[in-house]
């Protein structure tokens, strides 16, 4: 029964993505003259919108998880640019003009009230689906670290409540996370991407959500919510001390430092990315 439910879930996700892709492609190619189409991760949405505004309304920004954006392209959608929060996803695309580094950033927790990291073991936590948004598998890597290295979360609870399997190599140099059958129960709740996860925090459904520094800065969350930094080892401002590998529905991904990139497909896309680079990226939480 469990295996069958996972197969049904996979087919439903695939069907939903295919439907969205069909609607998007139809709308893009059959609604008259086409502007510049940008797929932007929720973390980069405010930056994407500002660059679009400065280009005088000829840019359409569609906000979606970076992995979902890659899947759309694999299914035939034709954006001009993807603004992604994980440079590693480029390997799943076979045709693009260039990849532009937009800067580094960090993984954080955003909470409704002031909490210490030691209290996370009792908090209700919202996460993004690791098969749709890269912050999902990074959050799970951070939770694993808080369990194994800091003893703040019970590992058995983590595996049971998220349906995730962790395998550590005997030498301790790498950890594999199988997130293909992820689900959330107990004190964990899951939505498709960061934008949807943040809605849970706003309406009080969870105590904390995993987010990125650009998301908090560009949406002016500092002061309105309590921002809790991760231990340096799993903030992903730099490569973590162990090699995390995430096995997702998209494929195997090495979880390295957080680097935002613009994946450019067309000449129009290059024009848009030039406008993005003309902005003060530090204002949006991106550091070189």
What pLDDT was estimated at residue 170? 85
- Note whether 67 and 169 are same-domain residues: no
For 70, the 3-state DSSP assignment is helix
Q: How many angstroms separate the CA atoms of 206 and 189, rounded?
A: 8
- pLDDT digits over 229-248, tens only? 999 999 999 999 999 999 99
Answer yes or no: is pLDDT of 150 > 70: yes
* Mean pLDDT estimate for the chain: 89
Q: Provide CB contacts within 8 A for 151, sequence distance 6+.
A: none
The CATH number of the domain holding residue 50 is 3.40.190.10
- Note whether 160 and 37 are same-domain residues: no
- Note whether 150 and 172 are same-domain residues: yes
- pLDDT digits over 52-72, tens only? 999 988 999 999 999 999 999
- pLDDT digits over 113-137, tens only? 999 998 999 999 999 999 999 999 9
**Domain total of the chain:** 2
Sign of CA dihedral 232, 156, 85, 113: negative
- Note whether 113 and 233 are same-domain residues: yes
Q: How many angstroms separate the CA atoms of 153 and 41, rounded?
A: 29
Q: Tell me the HSE value of 213 on the side-chain side, using a 13 A CA sphere.
A: 20
- Note whether 217 and 160 are same-domain residues: yes
What pLDDT was estimated at residue 108? 97
- Note whether 225 and 153 are same-domain residues: yes
- Note whether 93 and 184 are same-domain residues: no
175, 176, 179, 184 alpha-carbon torsion, rounded to 10°:
-30
- Note whether 275 and 226 are same-domain residues: no
- Note whether 176 and 280 are same-domain residues: no
What pLDDT was estimated at residue 288? 85
Q: How many angstroms separate the CA atoms of 196 and 10, rounded?
A: 20
- Note whether 196 and 228 are same-domain residues: yes
- Note whether 205 and 121 are same-domain residues: yes
Two tokens, residue 20: 């969205």
Q: Which residues pair with 245 in a beta bridge?
A: 176, 254
- Note whether 157 and 202 are same-domain residues: yes
- pLDDT digits over 6-32, tens only? 444 444 444 444 444 433 333 333 333
- pLDDT digits over 197-230, tens only? 999 999 999 999 999 999 999 899 999 999 999 9
Cα Rg of the chain, angstroms = 19
Answer yes or no: is pLDDT of 180 > 70: yes
Answer yes or no: is pLDDT of 86 > 50: yes
Q: How many angstroms separate the CA atoms of 215 and 110, rounded?
A: 10
What pLDDT was estimated at residue 34? 66
Domain extent for 97: 2-104+259-284
């Amino acid at each position: 029964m469990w295996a069958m439910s996972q197969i049904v879930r996979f087919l439903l996700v695939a069907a939903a993505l295919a439907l969205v892709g069909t609607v998007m492609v139809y709308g893009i190619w059959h609604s008259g003259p086409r502007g510049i189409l940008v797929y932007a991760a929720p973390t980069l949405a405010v930056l994407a919108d500002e660059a679009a505004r400065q280009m005088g309304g000829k840019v359409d920004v569609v906000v979606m998880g970076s992995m979902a954006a890659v899947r759309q392209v694999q299914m035939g959608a034709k954006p001009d640019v993807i603004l992604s929060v994980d440079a590693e996803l480029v390997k799943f695309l076979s045709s693009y003009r260039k990849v532009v580094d937009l800067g580094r950033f960090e993984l954080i927790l955003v909470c409704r009230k002031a909490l210490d990291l030691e209290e996370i073991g009792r908090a209700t936590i919202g996460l993004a689906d690791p098969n749709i948004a890269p912050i999902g598998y990074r959050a799970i890597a951070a939770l694993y670290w808080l369990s194994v290295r800091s003893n703040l979360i019970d590992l058995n609870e983590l595996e049971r409540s998220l349906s995730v399997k962790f395998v550590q190599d005997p030498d301790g140099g790498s950890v594999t996370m199988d997130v293909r059958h992820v689900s959330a129960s107990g004190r964990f709740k899951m939505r498709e991407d960061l934008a949807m996860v943040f809605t849970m925090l706003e309406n009080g459904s969870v105590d904390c959500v995993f987010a990125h520094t650009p998301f908090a800065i560009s949406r002016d969350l500092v002061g309105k919510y309590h921002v809790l930094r991760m231990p340096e080892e799993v903030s992903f401002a730099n490569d973590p001390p162990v090699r995390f590998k995430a096995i997702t529905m998209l494929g195997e991904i090495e979880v390295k430092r957080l680097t935002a990139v613009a994946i450019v497909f067309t000449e129009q896309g290059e024009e848009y990315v030039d406008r993005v680079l003309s902005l003060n990226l530090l204002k949006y939480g991106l550091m070189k």
